[in-house]
Amino acid sequence: MSSRGLALAPPAKNVVVYRNGDPFFPGRKVVVSPRRFLTFEAFLTEVTASVRAPLAVRNLYTARHGHRVAALGHLQDGGQYVAAGSEKFKRLDYLHQGRTELGGTRRSKGLRVSPCAAERRERTWLMVCSAGFYCRVFRNGDLLSPPFPLLLPRDARLPWAALLAALTGRADLRSGAVSRLCRLDGTPVSGGEELLAGGYYVAVGSEGFKKLPYLELLVPRDPTPRT
């Protein structure tokens, strides 16, 4: 009886989950088994923590086509999915690093990004895509971690509280939530309209701003001249 019950038990599934709209998030592996997750809601709770989503994950989509997944039984072993809150699925090429947006009506011609070369990202993140523009963010007081890219809407009308919440998930500061975004000289930024494409900023928590040579130590200079 017991051996038959074990034979009928469904095997565990290994899935990879990406963060909705994040073109540089590498994905997180999650093991799905009946013993670990009794309900789909419990699985979404685990995904929220695994991908460090700024808000609770409420929806799961297939990474390639954006089809909504509504039950544990619909998950495929080796499948790749995108975790989202209440917002709509954002079409990106999640299956490759350095991802660019897919299907935009104003997609720039010739915009191609290497799928895996990390050193090439340093040059490509400055490219303005149809979804918006990129800036780079350092972690306050951290001279070991390189700045991470932040994708912003082209008109920069993202609510400031929502932007700080997104930064909290990306920066993972030791002090906790990001409460301020500062320029390299320590001047605080008060709104998304002040952010510049290709600009460098510092995410600050409850502690004071630490003026350090972030740019000089963490951003290598390109020896080849740009044309």
Question: Does the structure show a pLDDT above 90 at 133?
Answer: no
Question: Does the structure show a pLDDT above 80 at 71?
Answer: yes
Question: Does the structure show a pLDDT above 70 at 37?
Answer: yes
Q: How far is CA 222 from the centre of its chain?
A: 26
> For 13-84, CATH number?
3.10.20.230
Q: What is the pLDDT of residue 187?
A: 94
Q: Tell if the pTM clears 0.85, that is, is over it.
A: no
Cβ 146 vs Cβ 216: under 8 Å: no
Average pLDDT estimate for 146-168: 77
Least trusted range by pLDDT, from 2-6, 47-51, 177-181, 199-203: 2-6
Burial (CB count <10 Å: 0-12, 13-18, 19+), residue 201: buried
Q: What is the pLDDT of residue 108?
A: 35
Q: What is the pLDDT of residue 188?
A: 94
pLDDT in tens, 84-93: 988 889 888 8
Which regions of the chain carry the CATH code 3.10.20.230?
13-84, 132-218
Output 126 or 6, whichever has higher pLDDT: 6
Question: Does the structure show a pLDDT above 80 at 107?
Answer: no
Instruction: Give the whole-number percent of the chain exceeding pLDDT 70.
Output: 74
Dist. CA 194–CA 166, nearest whole Å: 17
* Number of other CB atoms surrounding residue 178 within 10 Å: 26
Which residues, 6 or more positions from 165, have their beta carbon under 8 angstroms from its beta carbon? Answer: 54, 55, 177
Question: Does the structure show a pLDDT above 90 at 226?
Answer: no
pLDDT in tens, 171-187: 888 888 899 999 999 99
pLDDT in tens, 49-68: 888 887 889 999 999 889 99
Q: What is the pLDDT of residue 222?
A: 54
Q: Please name the fold of domain 132-218.
A: Ubiquitin-like (UB roll) (3.10.20)
Provide the 8-state DSSP code for 11: P
